[in-house]
């Protein structure tokens, strides 16, 4: 009787009483590690330095509105912009400064919480933060940013704008890839032991 009762109450660790459905799954910590913080800071500083250097070269070599043709539709055209990327919101500099500062603060918070979700995050966020901070420094110091890359059929922009666009695109792709990966793994863990996925 005792042996039968013991067998009836025997439940596998990590399973419900049917022995099939998991009670819980291990949760992977997503917070950024020290190495990832170092990578983020290095990329951000490199982006900031490259943007500031190219702006300094343009302002020292070309007067405002001067233009030098490079090749095809590409020109180096010294212009200023008090808005955000590609000349948007040019008449709202204080608001742009505030929104940029808030965006950078949110990105740092996000990285602290989720920096380990994908290996590309330190690079992607580093590019976005470096470009954003570089343009923010110019707006606070000068009231505008220097744009110089002119493609004729697109508003002039600078390296910081390019870093932001590339970083955001990489960030979105990384987050989508990470979500798909963990959704697939979660589905595999929730299937009964030994059961094949549908269609296999």
For the annotated catalytic residues, the residue numbers are: 147, 161
| Encoded tokens for 79 | 């212009």
Distance between CA atoms of 64 and 169, rounded to whole angstroms?
31
Beta partners for 157? Answer: 149
Cβ neighbour number for residue 137 with a 10 Å cutoff? 15
The separation between CA 4 and the C-alpha centre of its own chain, rounded to angstroms, equals 58
Provide DSSP, 70-129: EETTEEEEEEEESSSGGGTTTT-HHHHHHHHHHHHHHHHHHHHHHTTS-TTHHHHHHHHH
CA 129/CA 124 separation, integer angstroms: 9
């Amino acid at each position: 009787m005792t042996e039968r009762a013991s067998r009836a109450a025997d439940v596998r660790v990590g399973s419900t009483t049917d022995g099939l459905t998991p009670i819980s799954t291990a949760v992977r910590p997503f917070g950024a590690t020290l190495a990832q913080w170092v990578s983020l800071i290095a990329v951000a500083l490199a982006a900031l330095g490259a943007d500031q250097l190219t702006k300094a070269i343009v302002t020292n070599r070309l007067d405002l509105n001067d233009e030098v043709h490079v090749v095809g539709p590409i020109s180096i055209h010294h212009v200023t912009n008090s808005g955000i990327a590609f000349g948007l919101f040019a008449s709202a500099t204080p608001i742009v400064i505030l929104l940029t500062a808030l965006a950078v603060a949110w990105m740092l918070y996000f990285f602290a919480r989720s920096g380990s979700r994908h290996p590309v995050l330190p690079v992607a966020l580093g590019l976005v933060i470096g470009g954003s901070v570089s343009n923010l420094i110019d707006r606070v110091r000068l009231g505008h940013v220097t744009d110089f890359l002119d493609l004729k059929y697109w508003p002039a922009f600078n390296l910081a704008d390019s870093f932001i666009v590339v970083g955001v695109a990489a960030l979105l792709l990384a987050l989508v890839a990470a979500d798909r990966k963990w959704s697939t793994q979660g589905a595999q863990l929730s299937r009964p032991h030994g059961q094949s996925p549908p269609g296999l």
